[in-house]
Amino acid sequence: MYIDILDKVKDDYLIYYNSELLKVKTIPEGRYHSWSYNPLCFKFSNKITFQKLNNNGINLYSLSEELKQLYLKVEKYIDIHQNLKTKLNKVFLSDIVPSHVLLPFLQLKEKTVINNVKDKINHYDILLKIETVIKEIRLNRIVLDENHPQFVSLNNKKPYISYNSYKVKTGRMGMNTGYFPILTLNKEYRDIILPQYDYLIELDFNTAEVRTALSLLSNDLPEIDIHQWHNQQKFNNKLTRNEVKSDFFSWFYSKHNKKDEFYEKLYKKEVLLNSYFSENKIITPFNRVIDCDKEHFLNYLIQSTTSDMFFEQVYEILLYLKRNKLSTKIYFTLHDSVVLDVNHKEEKHLNNIKSIFKNTRFGAFMVNVSKGHNFGNMIQQ
- In this prediction, residue 26 carries a pLDDT of 81
**Which domains are delineated in the chain?**
4-120 (no CATH), 128-206+307-380 (3.30.70.370)
pTM score: 0.93
- In this prediction, residue 85 carries a pLDDT of 56
Please check whether residue 182 is in contact with residue 334, taking contact to mean a CB–CB distance below 8 angstroms: yes
Say how many C-beta atoms besides its own lie within 10 A of residue 379's C-beta.
9
CA distances from 344 to 94, 124, 317, 350, 371 (A): 39, 36, 17, 10, 12
- Residue 181, classed as helix, strand or coil, is coil
Query: Which positions ≥6 away from 279 have C-beta within 8 Å?
Result: none
- pLDDT block averages, 10 residues each, the chain of length 381: 86 81 83 95 94 96 96 89 58 81 94 97 98 97 95 91 94 94 95 98 96 95 94 95 94 84 94 96 97 94 97 98 98 97 97 98 97 97 92
- In this prediction, residue 181 carries a pLDDT of 95
Backbone angles phi, psi at 21, to 5 degrees: -80, 130
- In this prediction, residue 84 carries a pLDDT of 62
Alpha-helical segments (H) within 1-141: 51-54, 65-83, 93-96, 99-114, 124-137
- In this prediction, residue 91 carries a pLDDT of 63
- In this prediction, residue 59 carries a pLDDT of 95
- In this prediction, residue 83 carries a pLDDT of 66
- In this prediction, residue 171 carries a pLDDT of 92
- In this prediction, residue 95 carries a pLDDT of 80
Please check whether residue 241 is in contact with residue 251, taking contact to mean a CB–CB distance below 8 angstroms: no
DSSP 90-124: GS-HHHHS-HHHHHHHHHHHHHHHHTT--PPPTTH
Alpha-helical segments (H) within 116-240: 124-137, 151-154, 208-216, 226-235
Q: What is the pLDDT of residues 233-267, one digit of tens each?
A: 999 999 999 999 999 999 999 877 788 999 999 99
- In this prediction, residue 79 carries a pLDDT of 82
- In this prediction, residue 20 carries a pLDDT of 84
CA 211/CA 204 separation, integer angstroms: 13
- In this prediction, residue 206 carries a pLDDT of 94
